[in-house]
Every structure is written in structure tokens, then in C-alpha cells.
């Protein structure tokens, strides 16, 4: 009887803990028993893996050569076999559910224009308009926030992973020291390819809720992954549409192209993802345009066209069972 | 277990077809999981209520925006109306339990395992605010807790939208302990409707009528009596015999359920497999199909045999289990679960 009560108490504690985790947006915890069973294997893996991880981290963090992709750089081929990316065809699955991530929110206002417009409001409005457009095309859409609330990057990524989004699109508005900037740029996960991208990633990664150890672990999991290739493709299509649509409304728009940077929200999500800097609030002319609902709708439309074009191509490939680009 | 005297603890089984509540004040109620809002002013004037539930909603369905919010075992994502329907249904159940104005409510909500697995964050958001503190668990787990079958047991909860399987191994079930099939009550209804329609193409009947036929006359194995129902053929009410169709539709559950049982059994540690195999418990509305447990035992002989029984009080097994969880949870547990 006592052991039965103990069992009930333990199971109940697990049930409560799981509920509390859900309330705080945390992912499921790993199986206790499975960990016990696999402990020797894990210990062995740690013995081999930790020095390797340190080696990777050292090379990654200390690399200063701008043309080098430190997280794709494998240790010497004589010592270790180089990691190989998965062929995209192995992940030829339909794209159905899209997670939209309106940047900032709550006490994190993001960039602020002289006119008083704040980034958190712009991104939320664009995300809502984009959601409506995507739903018209029968996509399932999840948003990481639907109100003016603070959601940490960790919570955003957890939500995206729990909801099993097929694509993740984070929406931001740029703000750069030069007030002349009309830049539109789209990022995917990768090493920062210039100091400004690094700075921007650092800014967007603030208040993430992650620790350095988490960051390393997350980075490790994305090296050899189809996710990066797919994210890059999505970024290219979205950037093309952003430039085409917004260029019509504002010929001064500058195509800053597709770039890679280690935005934590992209590192921690499991699906292909991009971070689009859809406009530039530090530019007075852009800020004035962003205050107009029609301009924000154009941005949503451009994002929609890009996402839909990418998803449509992927879905056709999935149905035909061909690798993208093989036609 | 000491509890604050003014708190009402409730266990709720939020099902696709029926929802039940068991409360610490002894109240027990079950309603069909339909929620309907009058579609316009005229309908509102006729039904005289802002929202209708269960049988009353079903009977007035032409005038209502009728929802069965957990169709296929899931809250439809992005549908605010369905989320609202879940909230209304829960509030209705709690009011049926006799909660006094201002009385603190602690609720344990059992939901189809699929709803919990695929959309637990969404689900938690949808039910926010219906109680002062709330815990959500999978339905088969609630059943197992209520009957204290937490070790070496397989619970098979046959609902309307899904059949949920859960092997209890003395721990809170994880994904690897659970399976979900969409072969369940609704799939039996659809199959029965198809079979009757193909035999009587001129017969007119609705899916709601089919559901009622199943609830009255379903069976597996030998028919207890001929199943004769009345349908419209042209303008004429005509009795038709659907005994064979009923058997075929109900027995369509046997294969998929037995196969899934065998698959889960194969994943149990070999030293415990025999104990689990002889401790299979059916719950949920579908478990009330006469002859189902015996039919499953018959099919299981192909997989090495097994003993299958139906839980006592299948209508309230889930809500009673949820109530047991609510009563066993400590003050500290509830404080951490407060909304």
C-alpha cells in the first residue's frame, strides 16, 4: 500500500511538472528511464564529444578569416571524417504549417522612429496581415505572439518547435546608424558574414533566455543539416519578393541581399527559418511609409509571395519525389 | 489529505463525443460535447438562450452554429469559435457540478492523448481562465490513475474521434508509451452510413441518426437481436434491417486496435510483456460496444493472446480518475498550477 502511494505520488509529481513546463513554454523533458539505460553510452559519447566540441568551439569563436565558414569547418579529414549535409530530397515533405514570429513585444519595443513608431507594433501588424494571406491559401499559421507581450527568444523557439512548424519566419524592422538607409535584407542561419550582421545578431539575441552552454549545444545540432540549405533558399525567394514589391512603392529601396548570421531564434528552431528585416525605421521616409497601413500590407504581401513560392516549389517536389533543382 | 474546505475540486473528461464531470461535492454529470450559438436574432428569440449545450444543442441544430470542438480528438487550430466552444463547455460542466459563486475551482482536465501531444500549448491557452488552477492530462492516464492501474497495464480509451492507447509502466506516460488511432466511434459511424447507403441508396438519413443507431444497437460477434431502424424512402418512413452492416462497422475496429495493442506490447520489456498482455483495460464510450472485449481477445490470439476487460463505469472512469488526481495533488502542486 505504501509503495502504491509512493508510486502515485511520483507519477503525480511528473504530471504536475509537465503541466508547469507547458505553462512556461518549456519543451518536454527527456525520459528518466531512457537516460538511465543509456548512461554508459552517453558517458562514452561525452568523453569523446566534449573535447571535440571544445575543438569546434575554439575554431569557431577564434576564427577571424572573413571568408571562412567556421561552423562548417570540420577538423582535419585525416583525423575525422568531414560531416556531410543531408540531401534535400531526404526531407521532401509538404510545407503546411508556418510559424510567424513578430519581433519584440511588451517591454521590448525594438527599434523606434523619431515619429514615435515602434518596431514591435509594426512587426505584429505585418504578421497579422501575413497570417490572413497565408490562411487564405490554406496554410496553417501559428504566431509566437498575437498581442503586445514580451516573449523571450527561448519561448518563441520552443513554441515553434512544439507546434512543429514547417517554416519559421521572424519579422523585424531594421534601424541603422545611417539615417539614409532604405535597406531590406533577409537572414538565414549561419556565421555572420560581416561585422554589421554580427552586431545586428547580437542586438536581436539580447534577453533570449539562453545560456552559453545552450548556444553551443544548439549550434552543434545545425551543422550537418538540410535546414540551413532550405533556409537559404527560402531567404532568397523572400528577399526577391520584398525587393520587387517594395521597390515599386519606394524606388529608393536598397537590396542588401541574403545574408547569414547566428540569430538565436533561428538557431533554436528546428525548421528552416529566416529573419527578414523588412524595412528601416531609422530612415524618416521609411518610417513615414511604415505608418501607412497600405505599406505594411505591401510588406506582408511580399513576404507571402516569397513564402508561397518557396512552399509551392517544395510541395511540388515532394509530390514528384524529386530533389529540388533536379528538374 | 487536508484541503481548503471551500475549494471545489473537479475532474473533467473532455471528450470528442461526450464530456463528463465528477466533483468533490459528489456531483456527476455527462453532456454530449456539442456547443451551439443561435445563428441570428430570430434563432436567439426562438431558443431563448445565448448558448446551448449537448442534446439541447443537437436538437436545435438548424438554428445554431453548432460545434463539436474536439472533432478528431483535437481543438481545431486557429478556430477561435472552437476554442470558445471548449471554454463554454467547461464552464457549463462546472456550473452543472454546482460550483457556488466565487468558489475557488481546481480542475483536472482529461483530453484525448492526440490533443495533448500535438497542441498542448494551444490547448492550455484555450482553457485558460475556466478554473483557478488547472492541470491537463491525457485521458488514458486519468483512467489508469482513477483505477490505480499504474503499472504493467494497457489502457485503451475508445472515444469518438480517436482511440488512445497507453501502457502504464509506473511513470507518467511519455510519447513512446502512447499511440493514437483514428479508428474510433466516428469512423464506425461513417462506415455504417456508407454500408447502409450502399445497400439502400434511396434511404435518407443523417449522420446524427447513424450515431444514435450505433449507440442503441452496436455489437461485435453474434447479434443480440436483429437491428431494424426506420429511414425515409421518398416520403415514406420505411423500416430496414441493418444487422449485418452494424456488425461490419463495429468489427472494423477490431483489426486496427488489436494490431496496435500487439505493436505496443512488443515494445514492453520482455519480462513484463505477459503481465501487460493480461491486463488490458478498455475505457471510453466505444468500450460499451457489447462483445468488443471478447472480440479483441479473439483477434489477439493471432498475436499470442491476451485478457481484455472493460473498466467499471466507463462513462465516468475518466472524470473520476481526473478527480482522484485533483484530490491527491498537494497545495504546493496547485499553487504551481494556478492561472
ipTM summary value: 0.83
Strand B105-111 to strand B52-53: parallel, antiparallel, or no bridges (unpaired)?
unpaired
CA nearest to A18, candidates B339, B137, B106:
B137
Chain A residues within an 8 Å CB radius of B333: 12-13, 16
User: Is residue A177 very low, low, confident or very high in pLDDT (cuts 50, 70, 90)?
Assistant: low
Query: What average pLDDT score do residues A219-224 get?
Result: 49
CA nearest to B287, candidates B155, B189, B127, B150:
B155
Cell of B295: 472480440
CB nearest to B328's CB, from A8, A140, A159:
A8
CA nearest to B20, candidates B92, B75, B77:
B92
Specify whether the CB–CB gap between B272 and B152 falls below 8 A.
yes
Domain boundaries, chain A: 2-63, 95-320
**B190 Cβ neighbours under 8 A, 6+ residues apart:** B207
* Size (chain B), residues: 339
Q: How far is B76 from chain A (nearest CA, A)?
A: 10
CB contact under 8 A, B171 and A18: no
Specify whether the CB–CB gap between B221 and B292 falls below 8 A.
no
Specify whether the CB–CB gap between B296 and B254 falls below 8 A.
yes
Q: How far is B244 from chain A (nearest CA, A)?
A: 40
For domain A95-320, is the CATH number 3.40.190.10? no
Specify whether the CB–CB gap between B306 and B266 falls below 8 A.
no
Ranges A56-70, A251-265, B175-189: which has the least confidence = A56-70
Number of helical H runs and strand E runs in chain B = 13, 16
Specify whether the CB–CB gap between B175 and B186 falls below 8 A.
no
Residue A105 has pLDDT above 70, yes or no: yes
User: What is the distance between the alpha carbons of residues B329 and B10, in angstroms, rounded to a whole number?
Assistant: 12
Residue A35 has pLDDT above 70, yes or no: no
Q: How many CA atoms lie within 13 A of A3 on its CB side?
A: 2
Classify residue B267 by burial, with Cβ atoms within 10 Å: 0-12, 13-18, 19+: exposed
Look at residue A106 in the predicted model and tell me its pLDDT: 85
User: What is the distance between the alpha carbons of residues A108 and A155, in angstroms, rounded to a whole number?
Assistant: 14
| Contact residues, chain B to chain A, C-beta under 8 Å | 77-78, 118-122, 124, 135-137, 141, 145, 148, 150-151, 169-172, 174-176, 325, 328-329, 333, 336-337
* Backbone dihedral angles phi then psi of residue B128, each to the nearest 5 degrees: -60, 135
CB nearest to A16's CB, from B77, B145, B329:
B329
Domain boundaries, chain B: 8-145+316-336, 185-251
Note the pLDDT tens digit of each residue in A113-155: 876 788 999 999 999 999 999 998 889 999 999 888 888 888 8
Look at residue A46 in the predicted model and tell me its pLDDT: 39
pLDDT along chain B (339 residues), means of 10: 71 89 95 90 86 91 85 63 87 91 91 70 76 91 94 93 90 84 90 94 92 95 95 90 96 92 88 93 94 95 91 93 95 85
Q: Whole-number mean pLDDT of chain A?
A: 72
User: What is the distance between the alpha carbons of residues B185 and B286, in angstroms, rounded to a whole number?
Assistant: 6
User: What is the distance between the alpha carbons of residues A327 and B8, in angstroms, rounded to a whole number?
Assistant: 64
Look at residue A251 in the predicted model and tell me its pLDDT: 78
Q: Hey, which residues does B24 pair with through a beta bridge?
A: none
Taking CA atoms, B114 is separated from A300, B110, B157, B180, in Å, by 33, 11, 12, 6
Cell of A194: 560581416
**A136 Cβ neighbours under 8 A, 6+ residues apart:** none
CB contact under 8 A, B135 and A15: yes
User: What is the distance between the alpha carbons of residues B253 and B244, in angstroms, rounded to a whole number?
Assistant: 15
Domain B8-145+316-336, CATH class in plain words: alpha beta
Residue A82 has pLDDT above 50, yes or no: no
Look at residue A208 in the predicted model and tell me its pLDDT: 61
Residue A65 has pLDDT above 90, yes or no: no
Look at residue A224 in the predicted model and tell me its pLDDT: 40
Taking CA atoms, B187 is separated from A125, B13, B85, B298, B315, in Å, by 41, 21, 23, 22, 20
Cell of B19: 464530456
Q: Hey, which residues does B164 pair with through a beta bridge?
A: B157, B180
Ranges A182-191, A234-243, B99-108: which has the least confidence = A182-191
Enter the DSSP assignment of A108.
B
Taking CA atoms, B188 is separated from A321, B165, B185, B300, in Å, by 34, 18, 5, 20
Cell of B197: 447507403
Q: Is B7 left (phi over 0), alpha (psi -120 to 50) or beta?
A: beta
Note the pLDDT tens digit of each residue in A263-287: 878 878 888 899 999 988 888 888 8
Q: What percent of chain A has pLDDT over 90?
A: 20
Cell of A68: 571562412
CB contact under 8 A, B121 and A7: no
**B31 Cβ neighbours under 8 A, 6+ residues apart:** B18, B19, B20, B53, B54, B55, B89, B92, B93, B96
Q: Count how many pairs of residues, chain A against chain B, have C-beta atoms within 8 Å.
A: 67
CB contact under 8 A, A11 and B121: no
Residue A40 has pLDDT above 60, yes or no: no
User: What is the distance between the alpha carbons of residues B119 and A163, in angstroms, rounded to a whole number?
Assistant: 7
User: What is the distance between the alpha carbons of residues B85 and B81, in angstroms, rounded to a whole number?
Assistant: 6
* Backbone dihedral angles phi then psi of residue A194, each to the nearest 5 degrees: -155, 160
User: What is the distance between the alpha carbons of residues B201 and B99, in angstroms, rounded to a whole number?
Assistant: 50
Chain A residues within an 8 Å CB radius of B171: 10-11, 14, 32-33
Can you say whether the dihedral through the CA atoms of B125, A21, A274, A98 is positive or negative? negative
Specify whether the CB–CB gap between A242 and A186 falls below 8 A.
yes
B185-251 fold = Nucleotidyltransferase; domain 5 (3.30.420)
CB contact under 8 A, A15 and B141: yes
Specify whether the CB–CB gap between B13 and B20 falls below 8 A.
yes
Amino acid at each position: 500500500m505504501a509503495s502504491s502511494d509512493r508510486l502515485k505520488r511520483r507519477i503525480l509529481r511528473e504530471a504536475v511538472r509537465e503541466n508547469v513546463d507547458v505553462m512556461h513554454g518549456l519543451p518536454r523533458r527527456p525520459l528518466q528511464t531512457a537516460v538511465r539505460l543509456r548512461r554508459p553510452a552517453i558517458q562514452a559519447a561525452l568523453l569523446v564529444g566534449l573535447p571535440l566540441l571544445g575543438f569546434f568551439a575554439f575554431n569557431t569563436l577564434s576564427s577571424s578569416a572573413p571568408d571562412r565558414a567556421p561552423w562548417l569547418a570540420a577538423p582535419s579529414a585525416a583525423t575525422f571524417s568531414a560531416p556531410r549535409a543531408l540531401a534535400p530530397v531526404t526531407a521532401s515533405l509538404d510545407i503546411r504549417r508556418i510559424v510567424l514570429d513578430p519581433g519584440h513585444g511588451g517591454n521590448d519595443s525594438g527599434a523606434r522612429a523619431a515619429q514615435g513608431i515602434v518596431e514591435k507594433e509594426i512587426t505584429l501588424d505585418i504578421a497579422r496581415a501575413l497570417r490572413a494571406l497565408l490562411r487564405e491559401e490554406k496554410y496553417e499559421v501559428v504566431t509566437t505572439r498575437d498581442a503586445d507581450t514580451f516573449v523571450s527568444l527561448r519561448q518563441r523557439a520552443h513554441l515553434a518547435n512544439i507546434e512543429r512548424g514547417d517554416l519559421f519566419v521572424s519579422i523585424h524592422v531594421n534601424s541603422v546608424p545611417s539615417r539614409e538607409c532604405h535597406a531590406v535584407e533577409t537572414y538565414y542561419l549561419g556565421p555572420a558574414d560581416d561585422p554589421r550582421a554580427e552586431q545586428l545578431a547580437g542586438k536581436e539575441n539580447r534577453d533570449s533566455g539562453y545560456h552559453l552552454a545552450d548556444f553551443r549545444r544548439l549550434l552543434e545540432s545545425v551543422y550537418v543539416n538540410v535546414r540551413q540549405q532550405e533556409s537559404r533558399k527560402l531567404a532568397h525567394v523572400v528577399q526577391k519578393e520584398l525587393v520587387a514589391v517594395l521597390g515599386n512603392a519606394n524606388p529608393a529601396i536598397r537590396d542588401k541581399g541574403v545574408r547569414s548570421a547566428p540569430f538565436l531564434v533561428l538557431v533554436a528552431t528546428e525548421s528552416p527559418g529566416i529573419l527578414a528585416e523588412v524595412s528601416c525605421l531609422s530612415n524618416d521616409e521609411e518610417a513615414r511609409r511604415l505608418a501607412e497601413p497600405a505599406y505594411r500590407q505591401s510588406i506582408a504581401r511580399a513576404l507571402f509571395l516569397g513564402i508561397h513560392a518557396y512552399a509551392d516549389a517544395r510541395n511540388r517536389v515532394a509530390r514528384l519525389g524529386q530533389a529540388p533543382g533536379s528538374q | 489529505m487536508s484541503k481548503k474546505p471551500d475549494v471545489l475540486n473537479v475532474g473533467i473528461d473532455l471528450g470528442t463525443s461526450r464530456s463528463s464531470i465528477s466533483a468533490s461535492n459528489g456531483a456527476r454529470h455527462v453532456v454530449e460535447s456539442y456547443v451551439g450559438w443561435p445563428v441570428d436574432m430570430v434563432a436567439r428569440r426562438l431558443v431563448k438562450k445565448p448558448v446551448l449545450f449537448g442534446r439541447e444543442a443537437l436538437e436545435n441544430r438548424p438554428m445554431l452554429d453548432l460545434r463539436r470542438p474536439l472533432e478528431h480528438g483535437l481543438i481545431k487550430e486557429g478556430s477561435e469559435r472552437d476554442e470558445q466552444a471548449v471554454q463554454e463547455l467547461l464552464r457549463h460542466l462546472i456550473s452543472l457540478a454546482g460550483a457556488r459563486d466565487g468558489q475557488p475551482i481546481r480542475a483536472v482536465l482529461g483530453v484525448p492523448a492526440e490533443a495533448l501531444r500535438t497542441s498542448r500549448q494551444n490547448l492550455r491557452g484555450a482553457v485558460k481562465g475556466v478554473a483557478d488552477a488547472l492541470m491537463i492530462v491525457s485521458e488514458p492516464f486519468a483512467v489508469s490513475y482513477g483505477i490505480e492501474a499504474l503499472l504493467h497495464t494497457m489502457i485503451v480509451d475508445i472515444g469518438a474521434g480517436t482511440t488512445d492507447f497507453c501502457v502504464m509502466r509506473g511513470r507518467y506516460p511519455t510519447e513512446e508509451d502512447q499511440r493514437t488511432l483514428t479508428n474510433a466511434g466516428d469512423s464506425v459511424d461513417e462506415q455504417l452510413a456508407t454500408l447502409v447507403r450502399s445497400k439502400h441508396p434511396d434511404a435518407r438519413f443523417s449522420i446524427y441518426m447513424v450515431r444514435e443507431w450505433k449507440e442503441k444497437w452496436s455489437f461485435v460477434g453474434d447479434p443480440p437481436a436483429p437491428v431494424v431502424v426506420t429511414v425515409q424512402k421518398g416520403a415514406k418512413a420505411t423500416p430496414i434491417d441493418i444487422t449485418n452492416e452494424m456488425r461490419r462497422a463495429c468489427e472494423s475496429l477490431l483489426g486496427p486496435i488489436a494490431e496496435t495493442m500487439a505493436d505496443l506490447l512488443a515494445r514492453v520489456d520482455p519480462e513484463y510483456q505477459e503481465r501487460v498482455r493480461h491486463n488490458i483495460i478498455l475505457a471510453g464510450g466505444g468500450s460499451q460496444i457489447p462483445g468488443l472485449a471478447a472480440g479483441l481477445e479473439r483477434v489477439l490470439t493471432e498475436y499470442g493472446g491476451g485478457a481484455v476487460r472493460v473498466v467499471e463505469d466507463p462513462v465516468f472512469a475518466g472524470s473520476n480518475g481526473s478527480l482522484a488526481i485533483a484530490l491527491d495533488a498537494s497545495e504546493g502542486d496547485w499553487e504551481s498550477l494556478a492561472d
